[in-house]
Amino acid sequence: MRQTYASVRAASYYLVAGIPLDRELERLRRLDVFAAGPLAERRPELRVRRTRRRPNRLGFAVPTEHRLSVTAYPEIGPGDVLETLLHELVHLHVGRAPEAHAWHGPTFKRTLALAMREAYGVEIPTPRNTLHGVYAEAIGQRLADLEPTTGLEPVTPSLRMKCSTN
């Protein structure tokens, strides 16, 4: 069988802020909240971009192509990258909802909140907006509580970044 690019990528390609994103993706796509969607059926293609400075866009998803991208930058923390990863996975699950604010509308927000709770035990009031950074701190704190000895870096104070979805 012919190997795809994804299958030959080194583990280091997916390692961001101490998190092996390929393994985390496998765990996340099996969450109950995603059970009735495309993620449960098939692993999406994940790309990791690396930049020298914090970019304007931390990640994006292309539901029609079942792929997502997250961007790593020098000061990124585990909460930052996990928030982005799960946010983009929720885009792949929800797609363009038939409602106002199709990408970040009520369906997206509700699904993201359920996914955050299931994946990381994070329960915060459903944010009015879905800019990146809303969940990052809570995830980072939760990780620190769960694994105080892993030496994970504290989450960087997150600016809130707009997500764009193509």
Chain residues that interact with Zn ion, rule: CB under 5 A: 163
Rounded to a whole number of angstroms, the minimum distance from the CB of residue 165 to Zn ion is 5
- Identity of the residue, 111 or 156, whose beta carbon is nearer to Zn ion in the bound complex: 111
Task: Write out the two tokens for 133.
Answer: 């950074």
Kindly tell me which of 16 and 163 has the beta carbon lying closer to Zn ion. 163
- For Zn ion, give the closer residue by CB, 21 or 163: 163
Q: How far is the CB of 90 from Zn ion (least distance, A)?
A: 8
CA distance 18 to 24: 11
Tell me which residue has its CB nearest to Zn ion: 163
- Angular region, 147: left φ>0, alpha ψ -120 to 50, beta rest: beta
Output 76 or 152, the one with its CB closest to Zn ion: 76
Nearest approach, Cβ of residue 164 and Zn ion (Å): 7
Phi, psi of 58 (to 5 degrees): -85, -20
For 12, 13, 14, 42, 163, the CA distances from 8, given in Å and listed in that order, are 11, 10, 12, 18, 29
Backbone phi, psi, residue 16, to 5°: -135, 125
Q: How far is the CB of 53 from Zn ion (least distance, A)?
A: 21
